[in-house]
Amino acid sequence: MSSKVSRQRVEQGFRLASLQDPQANLEEAEKWARAVRERSARQQFPRNERQNHAREMVKEADLSQWDALVIMSGDGLLYEVINGLLERPDWEEAIRTPLGILPGGSGNALAASIHHYSGASPVTSEELLVSCGFLLCKGLVSHMDMVSVHLCSSPRLFSFLSLAWGFVADVDIESEKYRHFGAVRFTIGTLVRLASLRVYKGRLAYLPATRDHNSEEALRSNTMLCKDRVPPVTLPAVRDSSFHNSCHSNNSLKVRRVESTPSRSVTKALPGPHDSLLPPLDQPLPDDWVVVPEEDFVLMLAMYQSHLAEDLLAAPEATPDDGVIHLFYVRAGISPTALLRLFLAMEKGAHLTTNCQHLVYTKVRALRLEPYSPKGIITVDGEVVEYGPVQAAVHRGLSRLITG
C-alpha cells in the first residue's frame, strides 16, 4: 500500500473453485447472493433523517450488535457518527468500532483517500464507489488519526478530515447553492470565488511535528479484521502547557510564559481523550510553538487525509495514522490565475512542486488560528463551525478505519 500501513493476512476466507462453465458460474454466484439476501433481511439498516440524527443514533445504539459501522453518504455524515461515538460514556471502546464509508455525497474526500491508500489509480464517481465496496469486503482495518477542535464558546469537536479558513471554506459552503450539480458544485464555486478573491487577516501559530516525535510514536500500524476489537492505543505522555489567547483580543498569539493554572476547560470532565497539547484558549502559547509572521491570508487548510475532494490530492504524503496535521496556507498577494494553477496541479498532487512563493506547507501536531477579519467561514470536515479563535491537536491512531 502507498500509505505504508502494514497488512495482516486474513487466515479465514472463502474457498472458491475456478469454474469455466458460464452457467455454473451463474449458479455459484446466485447461491452466494441468496445467502447474502437472506442474511440482510434480518438486519435493520438505520437511515439518517435529519441533521445530527446519525450523531444521536450512535450515542444511544448498542454497538455490540455490529462488527463495524458503514456510512453510505458524503463526509458530513461520518463527521456526525464520529462525534456521536466520542460523546458516549464508553467512548474509549466505541471509537474502536471499525468505520467504513461508501461514497454517496457530493463531498467524498475520505473515500477518495482510502482508494488512494490502496495504491490504485485515481478514480471518481461510480468507479470510486465500486472500489470502496471492494475494499470493505476485504475487511482489513487500520488505525486512523482524530483531531480535536476547540472553539471559543462551542463544545469540543472531533475531526477526521480537515479544518479550513478562507478560500477553501468559502468555496465549500458558498457552493451549497449548486449542490444539485453534484461534485461539480465545487468547480463552480471555485470559479466564482476566483473572480472575486478575498484576503483575510488573522494570526496563525503551530506546534511543529519533529522527526523525533514521528519515530518515537511510530504506530504499531496493525491491520486487523473487522470483527477484532483492538486494545486502546497508548501514546507517550506530553507535557501540559498553558498559553494566553483572548477570544476577542488581536494580540492573543504573542508568546509569553505564564503560571500554569487549572482551567475549567481543562479540568472539566468531558468524554473523549485529554488534549495534552492544547492549553485553554485564554492562555499564552508555549515557547516551542511557531508564530507565522504574516497576517494576511487567502486560505488556511489543515489536512489529515490525502484528499480534499474526489479529484483533489491535497496532502500526497498523508496516511491515515501518520500522527501529524498537514498544514497549508496561502499568503496574500497571489493572483487568481496563480491560485487556479495551484488547484489544477492539486488534482494530481503536484501543487507542492509548482514553486509557488505564496504557498507554505508544513507538518504540525497542533495549531491555533485567530481570525482578525470580522466576517468569514471556518469549516471542520466541510461543516460550518463557530467563527472565531480555533485550535486543534492530533490524536494519533485513535479510531479505526476499514481500508482494505
C-alpha–C-alpha distance, residues 362 and 223, integer Å? 28
The answer to whether position 15 is within a domain reads no
Mean pLDDT of the chain: 82
Alpha-carbon distances of 22 from 36, 80, 122, rounded to whole Å: 21, 45, 32
Q: Identify the segments of the chain with pLDDT beneath 70.
A: 1-26, 28-29, 36, 39-45, 48-49, 183, 211-269
What is the model's pLDDT at position 29?
Answer: 67
Same structural domain, 271 and 187: yes
57: which 3 cell numbers? 443514533
The answer to whether position 388 is within a domain reads yes
Number of domains observed in the structure of the chain = 2
What is the model's pLDDT at position 21?
Answer: 59
The answer to whether position 288 is within a domain reads yes
Q: Using CB atoms within 10 A of its CB, is residue 390 exposed (0-12), middle (13-18) or buried (19+)?
A: buried
What is the model's pLDDT at position 41?
Answer: 56
Same structural domain, 247 and 353: yes
Candidate list 21, 62, 75, 311, residue with the active-site label: 75
What is the model's pLDDT at position 237?
Answer: 35
**End of a domain among 121, 148, 175?**
148
The answer to whether position 30 is within a domain reads no
The answer to whether position 339 is within a domain reads yes
**Residue 199's domain spans which residues?**
152-219+228-395
Catalytic residue at 75? yes
**End of a domain among 120, 148, 176?**
148
The answer, as to whether pTM is greater than 0.85, is no
Q: What is the CA radius of gyration of the chain?
A: 22
Q: Let me know the angle formed at the C-alpha of 149 by 265 and 132, rounded to the nearest 5 degrees.
A: 145
* Structure confidence by residue, pLDDT tens digits, 302-312: 999 999 999 99
Same structural domain, 259 and 210: yes
What is the model's pLDDT at position 258?
Answer: 31
Same structural domain, 197 and 303: yes
Same structural domain, 209 and 309: yes
Same structural domain, 126 and 189: no
**End of a domain among 148, 172, 197?**
148
What is the model's pLDDT at position 241?
Answer: 34
